[in-house]
Structure 1
Amino acid sequence: MASVNQLSVGWERCEWDASGQPMSRRERAESRGSYLASVPPDIAGLQFDVPSDVAAAAEDALIEVSRFDAELAASLPAADGELAPLAVVLLRTESASSSQIEGVTAGAKALAIATLNESSGQNARLVAANVDAMQKAIALADELSVDSILAAHRALMHDQSYARPGLVRDGQVWIGGGPTSHTATFVPPRQERVPALLEDLVAFCRRTDIPVLTQLSIAHAQFETIHPFNDGNGRTGRTLVHAMLRRSGVTRRLTVPLSAGLLTDTPAYFAALGSYREGDPAPIITQFSRAAFAAVGNGRWLVTDLIGIYDEWQQILPSRKGSAARRLLPHLLSQPAVTVAHVQQHLGVSQPAAQRAVDQLVGAEILKQISTGKRDRVWIAREVITALDDFAARTGRRS
Structure 2
Amino acid sequence: MSFASLLLRTEAASSSQIENLTSSPKAIALAELGRRGRASADEIVANVGAMTRALEVADRLNADAILAMHRVLMRDHMPSAAGVWRDSAVWIGGSARSPHGSDYVAPPAELVPAAIDDLKNFIARDDLPALAQVAIAHAQFENIHPFPDGNGRTGRALMHAQLRHAGLTRHVIVPISAGLLAETERYFAALSTYRSGDPLPIVGQVCEAVFPALQNARALIADVTEARERWSEVISARRGAAAWRLADHLGRRPVIDARLAAELLGVTTVNAQVAIDRLVEDGVLDQIGRGARDRVWQAPEVVEAMERFAERGITGWSEGLPARTPRRRRAGADRGR
- TM > 0.5 fold call: yes
Residue 21 of structure 1: aligned partner? none
Equivalent of 2:276 in 354, 358, 364: 358
- 1:307 matches 2:228: no
Determine the C-alpha separation between the residues in 2 that align with 1:233 and 1:141: 18
- 1:172 matches 2:172: no
Residue 196 of structure 2: aligned partner? 278
CA deviation map 1:338-364 (0-9, x unaligned): 222322232123444323222221111
Shift of residue 277 of structure 1?
2.1
Residue 12 of structure 2: aligned partner? 91
Determine the C-alpha separation between the residues in 1 that align with 2:115 and 2:269: 56
Q: How does 1:1-399 map to 2 (within 5 A)?
A: 77=1, 79=2, 83-98=4-19, 103-118=20-35, 121-161=38-78, 164-178=81-95, 179-397=97-315, 398-399=323-324
User: For the structure 1 residues 122 and 200, does the alpha-carbon distance in structure 2 shift closer, same or farther, using more than 3 Å as the test?
Assistant: closer
Secondary structure of 1:293's counterpart equals helix
Which letter does structure 2 place at the counterpart of 1:165?
A: A
Which letter does structure 2 place at the counterpart of 1:164?
A: A
User: For the structure 1 residues 194 and 336, does the alpha-carbon distance in structure 2 shift closer, same or farther, using more than 3 Å as the test?
Assistant: same
CA deviation map 1:366-388 (0-9, x unaligned): 11112324321211111111001
- Per the normalisation by structure 2, the TM-score is 0.87
Determine the C-alpha separation between the residues in 1 that align with 2:184 and 2:36: 34
Determine the C-alpha separation between the residues in 2 that align with 1:344 and 1:187: 50
Determine the C-alpha separation between the residues in 1 that align with 2:37 and 2:4: 23
The answer as to whether partners of 2:86 and 2:109 remain within 8 angstroms in 1 is yes
The answer as to whether partners of 1:261 and 1:294 remain within 8 angstroms in 2 is yes
The answer as to whether partners of 1:163 and 1:232 remain within 8 angstroms in 2 is no
Determine the C-alpha separation between the residues in 1 that align with 2:243 and 2:267: 11
Of 161-170 and 188-197, more deviation after overlay is shown by: 161-170
Larger Rg over CA atoms:
1
Which letter does structure 2 place at the counterpart of 1:217?
A: A
Shift of residue 330 of structure 1?
1.3
Residue 334 of structure 2: aligned partner? none
Residue 46 of structure 1: aligned partner? none
CA deviation map 1:59-105 (0-9, x unaligned): xxxxxxxxxxxxxxxxxx2x4xx53222222222212333xxxx332
CA deviation map 1:268-313 (0-9, x unaligned): 1222223222222111111001110111010001011011111111
Gaps of 5+ in 2: 316-322, 325-337
Determine the C-alpha separation between the residues in 2 that align with 1:163 and 1:141: 25
User: For the structure 1 residues 253 and 281, does the alpha-carbon distance in structure 2 shift closer, same or farther, using more than 3 Å as the test?
Assistant: same
User: For the structure 1 residues 175 and 306, does the alpha-carbon distance in structure 2 shift closer, same or farther, using more than 3 Å as the test?
Assistant: same
The answer as to whether partners of 1:141 and 1:149 remain within 8 angstroms in 2 is no
CA deviation map 1:190-247 (0-9, x unaligned): 2222221111111000000101001001101111111122111111111110100111
The answer as to whether partners of 1:241 and 1:259 remain within 8 angstroms in 2 is no
The answer as to whether partners of 1:262 and 1:288 remain within 8 angstroms in 2 is yes
Determine the C-alpha separation between the residues in 1 that align with 2:79 and 2:93: 19
User: For the structure 1 residues 351 and 163, does the alpha-carbon distance in structure 2 shift closer, same or farther, using more than 3 Å as the test?
Assistant: closer
Of 175-184 and 384-393, more deviation after overlay is shown by: 175-184
Pairwise CA RMSD: 2.0
CA deviation map 1:125-175 (0-9, x unaligned): 332233223312432354101121122222211234487222222122211
The answer as to whether partners of 1:218 and 1:285 remain within 8 angstroms in 2 is yes
User: For the structure 1 residues 350 and 239, does the alpha-carbon distance in structure 2 shift closer, same or farther, using more than 3 Å as the test?
Assistant: closer
User: For the structure 1 residues 332 and 201, does the alpha-carbon distance in structure 2 shift closer, same or farther, using more than 3 Å as the test?
Assistant: same
Which letter does structure 1 place at the counterpart of 2:11?
A: L
- Per the normalisation by structure 1, the TM-score is 0.74
CA deviation map 1:109-134 (0-9, x unaligned): 12222222246634323322332233
